Structure 1
């Protein structure tokens, strides 16, 4: 009970100093945006410069991080981000320990102290990350072995979709490993709890800070672990309460009737602003409470090195104001672009993902026909090679998810494929569906819809690109198809084979300049899409598609952003959203964009049976 009282007292103490903690927190955050962003940019540019590409995506990123140079760069980037958190916490701890009641004097003295220790703080951050990684590594290796043992017999999509017993065995075993890792981390982190204080307030060398902290925390770790757990729970509870209140206020937005749109927009902005402000105050107060808690465990054992005298915060304040001004200008610039997109007619094309995968079994002729009937501008499919050299339409490496058949695609002949029912899993009505060939899809789409062909690679392709090009040319559909792949060398190979054909890069994650990659378009995960990315890609003369967008509000938000294509399992819904948007005014469109920005969504999982 004493520990709970200590934590609540820490929160009370932090709240009593909100006039110090909140402005200092905001000022330091603004400074960090200006100071740390260049460091991250340098690290990212270094990573990209070591390749022959303008950007790294997915597999390239993983390969780079696993290389010696990539590992060092990754550690540097992580250290920069951790240093940001270290600096914020250091300012809070410094302003608390120096006992200044004036926010600017407290912030000034704390920032001066931190600047004088900056090299040591960066060294501490890098050493901290390495120590944590070394602790995590064996547990990660064991978890990877468990996953390999239990989840690699079939395609991963089968396990994620149907969650068979082996999936839950893996979840249980990996969960136990993660709990053990958490226990070890908590033990070590509680031992290192005073390391930052030692570097900051006693001038201890970063290399020695961890061991000295462990010695000083001997006999106190148990209490600290409990207090940290309570501190975290209280923070989550308060954040949950704030979100609940904000949700209740958003529910009061008057969405019905054109006359209420202006009021709804203003009301939404006010609620969103108050929510953001409350979150900011909570972050500052919780960090202050953590500083109070840890300060209670810290007693200086050596002569404290001289601290800078409190002065004015002119230089840091000017830096913060400058950073804030830059942020505002960027915000206005982005906002102006967004407003222009909101006001402009939508240019997005509708791309049926694996056909109309929400309404028919994916990558079947039924799904392809449905997408065409629903007015999709493009039908997107995945292709691989069968054992007898036929280009077939299949996404996974095997048929487990679609049919419960473990046969690998590259081991299946067309005779085998003809026996595999890939429709019943979706609905018994589609029991006659079989894996189609690319030939069948092109024949069905010719003159009715364009086709995006995603080239899938599982290390068993033989001559996929040449076989695809031969089929496309046989149907004389060069102008009605596009190819794309997660594997950038495949995109480059297609451009070399057929320079005039439309090709693009598919990316779930990326660093660097996507617009500089070869191809006529990029297709990115919707979570990656930003107004800045959209503008940069389009400024390079390329199109940008987003996937997989099934929520009508998100469809509207992506259209407002100005994307060129919506890759969706629901092409009919996407067309309807674009039709309705065409009849809306700017205020209504902006309201839809805000609704998505602040987390509103529509559950489309229940729509399958309701869709025509």
Structure 2
């Protein structure tokens, strides 16, 4: 399959998002790439989380910037999804890297725009760099963020890492080519809402690979791939990838 399908927050339709359970299922369904979100806690441990609080996806409430790794043992990140996942831990990025090596998976790691200030943001980058040192050379990783300052700093530190600038609004694309060049990005990730073939062509022609979020329709994914999109992020990657293969073998 030439076009890439990313499991959005892991296999998030089948298991609680941003957990080891959701990532492990990628191997079962032959999905080579997953996406996850990271932020940092007080002692510099990088954790998987999409939100800036624990309320939605754990048995805890409130923020996490004052927590340490010792506090993670008391957090259940699975029961909210299903009783089958009760006791599922809130994972660290180091654990995820180990699973990537064990299950031969690749990852798009999205850096959340740390809300705890510059010192914590730099601690997040430090933790990300440290975790990735354990990644086996055969594994691939892309680092993305809506915070392009993060990506520019990371690229200075680790020029070998592939990075992707995320955009939420098409109102902000006027200077996107300048931003991509300044950051040193290889990818641009765009919302499916309002995307046009012309926009995809604009970035492809400039040498950037385009990925689109969040695509849960096989027909839409097929159209986007025909436009020249490189990859799509999906909550149902197992169904989408299977349907895409079927469409392109008939």
- After TM superposition, the score normalised by the length of structure 2 is 0.89
In terms of fraction of residues, the more helix-rich structure is: 1
2:45 pairs, out of 390, 393, 411, with 390
Rounded to whole Å, the distance in 2 between the matches of 1:380 and 1:372 is 14
1:428 pairs, out of 83, 96, 102, with 83
User: 1:568 matched to which residue of 2?
Assistant: 234
SS in 2 for 1:415: helix
Distance 1:547 1:488, change over 3 A: same
User: 1:512 matched to which residue of 2?
Assistant: 174
User: 1:352 matched to which residue of 2?
Assistant: 7
Q: CA deviation at 1:473?
A: 1.7
Rounded to whole Å, the distance in 1 between the matches of 2:19 and 2:139 is 23
Distance 1:424 1:557, change over 3 A: same
The answer to whether residue 233 in structure 2 is matched with residue 578 in structure 1 is: no
Rounded to whole Å, the distance in 2 between the matches of 1:450 and 1:440 is 14
Distance 1:522 1:571, change over 3 A: same
Q: CA deviation at 1:550?
A: 1.2
- Gaps in structure 1 of 5+ consecutive residues: 1-345, 585-612
User: 1:316 matched to which residue of 2?
Assistant: none
Alignment of 1:69-108 (within 5 A): none
Q: CA deviation at 1:513?
A: 4.6
Q: CA deviation at 1:358?
A: 1.1
The answer to whether residue 159 in structure 2 is matched with residue 491 in structure 1 is: no
User: 2:62 matched to which residue of 1?
Assistant: 407
Distance 1:533 1:479, change over 3 A: farther
C-alpha contact 2:10 2:23 (8 A) present in aligned 1 = yes
2:132 pairs, out of 465, 472, 485, with 472
Q: CA deviation at 1:404?
A: 4.5
User: 2:195 matched to which residue of 1?
Assistant: 529
Alignment of 1:268-417 (within 5 A): 347-417=2-72
Q: CA deviation at 1:389?
A: 1.4
SS in 1 for 2:193: helix
The answer to whether residue 112 in structure 2 is matched with residue 456 in structure 1 is: yes
SS in 2 for 1:492: helix
- Gaps in structure 2 of 5+ consecutive residues: none
Cα deviation 1:550-602 (Å, max 9, x = unaligned) = 12222222222221001011111121122112124xxxxxxxxxxxxxxxxxx
Rounded to whole Å, the distance in 2 between the matches of 1:407 and 1:550 is 31
In terms of fraction of residues, the more strand-rich structure is: 2
Q: Pick the structure with greater CA Rg.
A: 1
User: 2:220 matched to which residue of 1?
Assistant: 554
SS in 2 for 1:567: strand
SS in 1 for 2:74: coil
Size of the aligned set, in residue pairs, is 239
Root-mean-square deviation (CA, aligned residues, Å) is: 1.8
Distance 1:532 1:484, change over 3 A: same
SS in 2 for 1:470: helix
C-alpha contact 1:556 1:577 (8 A) present in aligned 2 = no
Cα deviation 1:209-245 (Å, max 9, x = unaligned) = xxxxxxxxxxxxxxxxxxxxxxxxxxxxxxxxxxxxx
1:442 pairs, out of 67, 87, 97, with 97
User: 1:481 matched to which residue of 2?
Assistant: 141
- After TM superposition, the score normalised by the length of structure 1 is 0.38
C-alpha contact 2:33 2:106 (8 A) present in aligned 1 = yes
Distance 1:478 1:385, change over 3 A: farther
Cα deviation 1:52-106 (Å, max 9, x = unaligned) = xxxxxxxxxxxxxxxxxxxxxxxxxxxxxxxxxxxxxxxxxxxxxxxxxxxxxxx
